[in-house]
Homo-oligomer: A and B are copies of this chain.
Amino acid sequence: MAATFPAAMTTSIRLHVRAPLAAGAAVDCGTAQSRYLRTVMRRSTGDAVLLFNGEDGEWQATIETAARDSMRLICRRRTRPQDVAPDVWLAFALLKRDATDLAVRQATELGVARIMPVLTDHGQAARVNTDRLLAIIIEAAEQSERLTLPALSPPVTLTDLLAAWPGDRQLLAAIERLGSRALPAMVGPPCGLLVGPEGGFSARERAQLLRHPAVRALSLGSCVLRAETAIVAGLAQLLCSGTDDGTAAPLPSSAGDR
């Protein structure tokens, strides 16, 4: 079946690296990436890999030397210029581990610029495994063809989040059963989405939110969503709708595989 996949599915390995990228630059991969390339993806000397570091765009590099635990790659040509993630932040009450992992992965895929775990009165977790979340972020960025990594903030209480929230940035809060109207068309970056825990915000927290000048209510429809669903649904409204001219978008009369 693999033979019928689009070419991009089988040949494009994208890796996030920390080294500067430029024509002719050498990039030394560490143990984990080298083993991934050699053992999992069966790549060896001469094969092409895409690299990005969040600053220098995306580069096609070739493997120059491949040892057991190290590989050296040489940047050949820039395949995409650097871009900037839309200035949308996600603040969410920590969930159970699997749900937190899912939220971090999907928020990264959707292109969020900053991920901010929040400690709330009814939260389901009080600690974050930063290393695991960073690994999830990097893998999601590699697979989703992002050129940046979202910043991961250390967990803060809702009180501290609101106290430090920038005055010029709307915070769209998905508050259950508040009966708000739909997202106004004018809302866009810079902004943030706030999603509470499964148990909802406490009365104290709701009062904090209601009196904060940056907070606006975000309606996500008539049903009660789980937190991880609300995160994706809310981000989709802030990140995917983009601009359009109000007309239908007919399909092009032909389209290549890429």
Contacts and interface: CB of A to CB of B under 8 A. Distances in A.
Interface of A: 1, 4-6, 8-9, 83, 102, 106, 109-111, 121-122, 143-146, 173, 175, 177-178, 180-187, 199-200, 202-203, 206, 209-210, 215-217, 219-226, 229, 232-237, 239-255, 257-258
Given A106-B229, A209-B251, 20 more contacts: A4-B121, A9-B199, A110-B229, A110-B233, A173-B251, A181-B249, A182-B242, A182-B243, A185-B246, A186-B247, A186-B248, A206-B255, A210-B255, A217-B251, A219-B240, A219-B242, A221-B240, A233-B233, A234-B236, A236-B240
B251 A202 contact: no
Given A122-B1, A178-B252, A232-B229, A223 B184 contact: no
- Across the A-B interface, the 7 shortest Cβ-Cβ residue pairs: A233-B236, A182-B242, A236-B236, A182-B244, A232-B232, A144-B223, A221-B240
A5 B251 contact: no
Contact of A246 (B1, B4, B184, B219): B184
Given A223-B146, A232-B232, A248-B216, A254 B210 contact: yes
A178 B237 contact: no
Contacts of A203: 4, 257
Contacts of A110: 221, 223, 225, 229, 233
19 contacts: A1-B122, A5-B199, A102-B102, A111-B221, A143-B226, A145-B223, A146-B223, A181-B244, A182-B240, A182-B241, A182-B243, A182-B244, A182-B249, A184-B248, A185-B244, A186-B246, A186-B248, A219-B240, A219-B249
Contacts of A249: 180-184, 216-217, 219
A219 B251 CA distance: 11
